């Protein structure tokens, strides 16, 4: 994640990363393919958790009044 452009965007607006584990049960974490590999296997059971987490964060941010802009 450190190589992404996200840090530049976060200089202008609040932001952070969080990870959601999507490795299927029974797959060895030491040998599993990374998310940029054509062999990547995601566990769709993580989707409801991720959607709920992101939705909750967005609603909480919006109802808090947000963060004031810095000139």
Cα 41 from Cα 38, distance rounded (Å): 9
More confident residue, 65 or 69: 65
Residue 49: per-residue pLDDT: 93
**Residue appearing with tokens 């987490």:** 53
Taking only the tens place, the pLDDT of each residue in 49-68 is: 999 999 998 898 888 887 66
Kindly state the tokens that stand for 41: 């296997």
Could you tell me how many residues make up the chain?
A: 71
Taking only the tens place, the pLDDT of each residue in 6-60 is: 778 778 877 777 788 888 889 898 999 988 899 988 899 999 999 999 999 889 8
| pTM, two decimal places | 0.63
Question: In degrees to the nearest 10, what's the CA dihedral of 18, 1, 43, 47?
Answer: 40
């Amino acid at each position: 994640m450190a190589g992404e452009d996200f840090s530049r965007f976060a200089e202008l607006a609040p932001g952070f990363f969080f990870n959601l584990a999507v490795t299927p049960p029974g797959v060895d974490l030491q040998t599993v393919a990374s998310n940029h590999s054509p062999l990547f296997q995601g566990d769709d059971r993580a989707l409801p958790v991720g959607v709920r987490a992101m939705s909750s964060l967005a609603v909480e941010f919006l109802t808090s009044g947000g963060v004031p802009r810095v000139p």
